[in-house]
Amino acid sequence: MVGRRLPRQRASGHGTHCAGSIAVDGSASDGEFTGMAPDADLTVYSCGVGGLLIVYIVAAYDDMLRRQREGEHDVQVVSNSYGPADDDRPFVPDDPTNVATWAAHEAGILPVFSAGNSGPERGTLNQYATAPHVLGVGATHADQTVTDFSSRGRPQDASWEQDNYDRHAAYENLAALHDGTPENEIEGPLGIYRTGVAAKGGDVMGTLNPADPLNVADPDDKRYYGPMSGTSMSCPVTAGCATLVVDASLEAHGEAPDPIDVLTTLEATAVETVHDTYTAESVGAGYVDALTAVQRAESGELAGFDEVDLAPGSRE
């Protein structure tokens, strides 16, 4: 892959691990630990240390989009392993970060967000992952069972205010809002309250500085690698999968697909019945299947909203 750039949150520690899940070439492990898209280029931004500063998030998006307009890089996917996930607030379309991710979407970039680590309680999704143009990612163990820590969406229960699993309806509503339709004239919710897909997020082996506290406290022969757990880890894994879909489409057809088509293809090709405990609130459309998604991209048959089947067992 040439020229595919993925902004990352930090350049050391947590961010180094996430970046490795996307693009590490595995050379320091004889190929054992390789990222999902090992030839991808990375554009890296820091959102602050010790706490989230929303001004830095918006500034990072602003700079990314400026550089995109000026031809300094060619971005199709942006991976985001951060965000509030401690309550069940409705989606806020004019939140600065949500406005920034919509601007990225309009510029042809797919935002991928971690679902959050506040599970297994329901209604704990990362607020930024509830945007209909964003792919929110839950976390599983190696056996593809959902981790306890992975945040959950709302149950598909009419008693929950503004409950909605229909990405298509929410996406159309949000697009209308950004096109100038007053919010009080839009029927139905603007956000979705379920996970998009899930990927491995438990004990993911990724890149670490040899001086990282994890390597210092528990040294082994894998000097430049170490395990971390969280939806922060499953998010870049899935962003790497999205990058492969983009690359396959570029290689086969000469142009990058629309970000919403990449999103719906990853959802439509996800496996929703790997485990009988899967629900839309925990895994959305299911466990991500990079190979099938790439095959769809190569064939020119990217999926639409109507092809997405959600994991069963969500309605009470």
Q: Is residue 7 part of a domain?
A: no
Q: Is residue 314 part of a domain?
A: no
Structural domain that includes position 172? 14-307
Hey, how many other C-beta atoms are within 10 angstroms of the C-beta on 149?
A: 18
Q: Is residue 66 part of a domain?
A: yes
Please state the pTM of the whole predicted model.
0.91
pLDDT at 218: 60
CATH no. for residue 85?
Answer: 3.40.50.200
Strand intervals (E) in the chain? 77-80, 110-114, 135-140, 197-200, 204-207, 225-228
pLDDT in tens, the chain (316 residues): 223 434 333 334 888 888 889 988 877 777 788 888 998 999 888 776 544 566 789 999 999 999 999 999 999 999 999 988 666 788 999 999 999 999 999 999 999 999 999 999 999 999 999 999 999 999 999 999 999 999 999 887 655 544 589 999 999 999 999 999 999 999 888 999 999 999 999 999 888 877 766 666 566 667 788 888 999 999 999 999 999 999 999 999 999 999 999 999 999 999 988 888 799 999 999 999 999 999 999 999 999 999 999 988 554 4
Q: Is residue 59 part of a domain?
A: yes
Structurally, how many domains does the chain consist of? Answer: 1
Q: Is residue 121 part of a domain?
A: yes
Separation of first and last alpha carbons in the chain? 45
Identity (one letter) of the amino acid at 134?
Answer: V
Distance CA 265, CA 214 (A): 36
pLDDT at 159: 52
- Across 26-59, b (16+ Cβ under 10 Å) vs e yields eeebeeebbbbbbebbbbbbebeeeeeeeeebbe
Q: Is residue 162 part of a domain?
A: yes
pLDDT at 25: 84
Q: Is residue 2 part of a domain?
A: no
What percent helix, strand, coil does the chain show, rounded to 5? 35, 10, 55
Q: Is residue 243 part of a domain?
A: yes
Matching residue, tokens 């991710």? 101
Query: Cβ-count burial of 14 within 10 angstroms (0-12 exposed, 13-18 middle, 19+ buried)?
Result: buried
pLDDT at 188: 86
